[in-house]
Structure 1
Amino acid sequence: MKENITLHDGPVVATQVIGPTSDEDNLGDIVICHGTPWSSRMWLPLARELSLHHRVFLWDMPGYGDSIAEEAVAVDLVTQRRRLAELLDIWGIQKPHVIAHDIGGAVALGAHLLENRDFASLYLLDIVTLDPWGSPFFRLVAENEPVFAAVPPQLHSALVTEYIAGAGGEGFGHSSVQELAAPWCTGAGQPAFYHQIASLRPEHTDPIVNRLGEVRCPTRIGWGADDPWIPAEQAERLARTLPGNPKVTWFPGAGHLVPLEAPSSLATEVKAWLATDFAGPPVQALDA
């Protein structure tokens, strides 16, 4: 079921819920948080597979995918984490399993740690949280957002396409690049692309990093072994910071876009994770 939901701060969020309608057939709710510059569309194949036994909630963050609007809205990580918390309340779900990728990791962790939303588990895939993050291109856009937003559409399309192509490993296909670039190559999409980049600031993840030891649910980390955007060493560092030193699963040959580059391996991994017995003793937060 697709539904556009208007949040209290104004933006309309494109959402989709797929899976069992009966609570008896639902083995647990799952919320998927996409990253940048992607949307929930990238996650549909996995969501459909998981929806055989789970109710899966997808959302395009305001400023992304089907939630791109003609008028610019706030798209910083603080605002997005608060929107996720509000969506959970609107959906009426408590303690979902959460799968988060890229900046979706910061959004999900922020909703958990700073907006006090409880999760049954967290699967963190190539997430943006630990320093350093944000490329020189991010800084260049932040300093010159109006200039980039005004470049001719053909040049903008070439820039977006090249930028997205640089996220994948060697096997990342041209068709995937074109599909991911499409939402940004419209009249509304072009300024939205640079606005979201300019709004992403490492200082917004600092409070999350400072409280990673307080995560209250089981976690698992997945990482593309050849991720060109976020160094693989961050996965190991993240595991050492989170309670319980969670396992890291590597996806050989994959870059930053594991859902597209290694979909079968990711589906097998996530389904095995969801089959874990989470009914054991709660995760103990590390001393701050």
Structure 2
Amino acid sequence: MELSRTFAWEGRRIAWDTRGDGPAVVFCHGTPWSSATWAPVADALATEYAVHLWDLPGYGRSSKDPAHDVHAGVHARALAALLDHWGLERPHVVAHDLGGLVALRAHLVEGAAYASLFLADVVAIGPSGSPFFRFVQEHRGVLAGLPAYVHEAVVRAYVGDALHRDLGSETLDALVAPWLGAEGQAAFYRQIEDYDVDLIEADERALPTLDLPVRIVWGTDDGWIPLATGRRLAALVPGAELTEIPGAGHLVQLEAPGEVLTALSAWLARGA
């Protein structure tokens, strides 16, 4: 699914699109990804559901203005505004990586109402932030000036580190592409520099108050956010169900699309 529509919000241009009819399902991607990570699953669901994809401001096809903040608090407000723009009152929300924090914060802080929440290898509780994140934050503004070929090598290595299974060069190229060029390079480091651990800690304290159906899936070989974190998250969320997907890494929806689609389809069928 290509994002052919845009939503103007607080000076930003948010790329989005929708397909299909039926109960609404909204997908949220994480960092350093785009909606492309959810596109195959969304396409498969579009025969029975109205699926909505969007790129976070500062990511993918959305605007990357250096004057704009790109932390999860901003993205949560953007999600709440998008739900209002789409006229969706209680959609099912599906989130990966930082998208988990965005979706949770949109619900807990911005008051967005969901029918259910499906979380895949999400950023939601600590510890958070890789050694690479800390390095970029300690050297703000420096890496944006790297020669383009060095920057591309850095992004390729970073993205590749998230994978447990080989997805092939075409998929890797698609994941790296939004961060190339002068605009993409600056935006790549800016979204790391703007990463706010305090938001994670605040939302973690609020997790026991969640009052909606929550399903969690986790790749057993996630090298970025270990399975132990997923198990701890499931223990913190009242009534949450956890499915562990063997042999999958952090990009579980691309590494094990069949397993994720099966789990998500069964979950939606229960609550649609």
Aligned residue number for residue 185 of structure 1: 180
- Cα distance in 2 for partners of 1:231, 1:172 equals 20
- Cα distance in 2 for partners of 1:30, 1:170 equals 27
Aligned residue number for residue 7 of structure 2: 5
Deviations 1:180-213 (A, max 9, x none): 0011012210000000011112111111111101
Aligned residue number for residue 87 of structure 1: 82
Mapped pair 1:111 → 2:113: no
Unaligned runs of 5+ in 2: none
Cα contact 2:222–2:249 (8 A) shared by 1: yes
Once the two structures are TM-superposed, the CA of residue 72 in structure 1 deviates from its matched residue by: 4.2
Shift in CA distance, 149/136, structure 1 to aligned 2, threshold 3 Å: same
Mapped pair 1:195 → 2:190: yes
Cα contact 1:13–1:67 (8 A) shared by 2: yes
- Cα distance in 1 for partners of 2:114, 2:210 equals 10
Once the two structures are TM-superposed, the CA of residue 70 in structure 1 deviates from its matched residue by: 5.0
Cα contact 2:34–2:55 (8 A) shared by 1: yes
Structure exhibiting the larger radius of gyration computed from Cα positions: 1
1:267 to 249, 261, 267: 261
Mapped pair 1:220 → 2:215: yes
Cα contact 1:168–1:256 (8 A) shared by 2: yes
Task: Name the % identity.
Answer: 44
Mapped pair 1:75 → 2:70: yes
Mapped pair 1:16 → 2:11: no
Aligned residue number for residue 240 of structure 1: 235
Work out the number of aligned pairs and report it: 270
Q: Secondary structure at the match of 1:235?
A: helix
Cα contact 2:137–2:192 (8 A) shared by 1: yes
Deviations 1:145-202 (A, max 9, x none): 3110000000000000000000010434333222100110122100000000111121
Cα contact 2:217–2:245 (8 A) shared by 1: yes
- Cα distance in 2 for partners of 1:71, 1:146 equals 12
Shift in CA distance, 145/68, structure 1 to aligned 2, threshold 3 Å: farther
Once the two structures are TM-superposed, the CA of residue 112 in structure 1 deviates from its matched residue by: 0.6
Shift in CA distance, 58/170, structure 1 to aligned 2, threshold 3 Å: closer
TM-score normalised by length of structure 1:
0.91
- Cα distance in 2 for partners of 1:95, 1:277 equals 11
> Could you tell me which amino acid in structure 1 is paired with residue 110 of structure 2?
E
Structure 1 window deviating more from structure 2 (110-119 vs 166-175): it is 166-175
Q: Secondary structure at the match of 1:229?
A: coil
Cα contact 2:58–2:65 (8 A) shared by 1: no
> Could you tell me which amino acid in structure 2 is paired with residue 206 of structure 1?
E
Aligned residue number for residue 57 of structure 2: 62
> Could you tell me which amino acid in structure 2 is paired with residue 269 of structure 1?
A
- Cα distance in 1 for partners of 2:186, 2:67 equals 8
TM-score normalised by length of structure 2:
0.96
Q: Secondary structure at the match of 1:66?
A: coil
Once the two structures are TM-superposed, the CA of residue 136 in structure 1 deviates from its matched residue by: 1.6
Aligned residue number for residue 152 of structure 1: 147
Aligned residue number for residue 249 of structure 1: 243
Deviations 1:225-246 (A, max 9, x none): 10000010011111111011x2
- Cα distance in 1 for partners of 2:86, 2:157 equals 37
Once the two structures are TM-superposed, the CA of residue 63 in structure 1 deviates from its matched residue by: 0.6
> Could you tell me which amino acid in structure 2 is paired with residue 263 of structure 1?
P
> Could you tell me which amino acid in structure 1 is paired with residue 221 of structure 2?
D
Aligned residue number for residue 285 of structure 1: none
Once the two structures are TM-superposed, the CA of residue 19 in structure 1 deviates from its matched residue by: 0.8
Mapped pair 1:163 → 2:158: yes
Q: Secondary structure at the match of 1:65?
A: coil
Deviating beyond 2 angstroms after TM superposition, the runs of 4 or more aligned structure 1 residues are 68-72, 170-175
Aligned residue number for residue 286 of structure 1: none
